[in-house]
Amino acid sequence: MAYHNIIIAIDGFSSCGKSTLAKELAKHLGYSYIDSGAMYRAVTLYFLRNQVSISDPASVAEALSNINLAFIYNETNKTSEIYLNDENVEPYIRDMIVAEKVSEVAAIKEVRKFAVAQQQQMGLQKGIVMDGRDIGSAVFPDAELKIFMTADPEVRVMRRFKEMYVTNPHITIDEVRHNLELRDYIDSTREESPLHRAADALILDNSNLSRDEQFHLVLEWVRERTKPVKA
């Protein structure tokens, strides 16, 4: 007996723990994990490095034609990492300078078309966990399992602060709070695929759940959707 491979779409606000859950699930199920936010961050990094004017559609289109994104599995870290034109850019894409610009870049229609086409391609074989903002609503509207994650705003601020503090000990809680609030606002009010819960997405509020409790709850949801079939 074997289980069906499905698509698991995880959406929600920044710093709700989407990637932690997505990675754990992918590892447990033997699925691939795709961090769609990393794609928008890598595009943003390219735009910053090359001083692409985001208000000029021709510059944006030209820049996108020069961008090649790929996810490559890192055996040591046991996770997939994003490459921008053959350079591993994982060390740079979470810097504050990228975080401050990424929501604006992700709101550009052409950028979304560019990223979504690649994301849909990655889902053709199923057996994938993808996290982001529009995965259940726009990228994979037919995903077998859609999860919409939320958490108390202050819990999220502290989680992101602790994460960023490791590489940037000068960062303040206020800076992190301001960045999260701004990104939430832009992500959920933009014209193109704003962040919203797909009608058939299950809500997961993890403010008061341990990582383990959350994982086992979601695993139940996965099992309900992957009925055993003959191998």
Q: Interface with ligand DC by CB under 6 A: which residues?
A: 14, 36-37, 40-41, 102-103, 106, 132-135, 183, 187
Q: In degrees, to the nearest 5, what angle opens at C-alpha 49 toward C-alphas 46 and 50?
A: 85
Measured in whole angstroms, the distance separating CA 25 from the mean position of its chain's CA atoms is 14
Distance CA 93, CA 96 (A): 9
Query: Judged by CB, which is closer to ligand DC: 4, or 113?
Result: 113
Shortest Cβ 127–ligand DC spacing (Å): 19
Shortest Cβ 94–ligand DC spacing (Å): 8
Shortest Cβ 175–ligand DC spacing (Å): 15
Shortest Cβ 16–ligand DC spacing (Å): 9
Query: Judged by CB, which is closer to ligand DC: 75, or 191?
Result: 191
Query: Judged by CB, which is closer to ligand DC: 24, or 134?
Result: 134
The burial of 171, by beta-carbon neighbours within 10 Å (0-12 exposed, 13-18 middle, 19 or more buried), is given as middle
Please report, in angstroms and rounded to a whole number, the separation of the first and last CA atoms in the chain: 5
Distance CA 6, CA 8 (A): 6
Query: Judged by CB, which is closer to ligand DC: 3, or 122?
Result: 122
Query: Judged by CB, which is closer to ligand DC: 109, or 223?
Result: 109
2: DSSP letter: E
Shortest Cβ 171–ligand DC spacing (Å): 15
Amino acid at 63: A
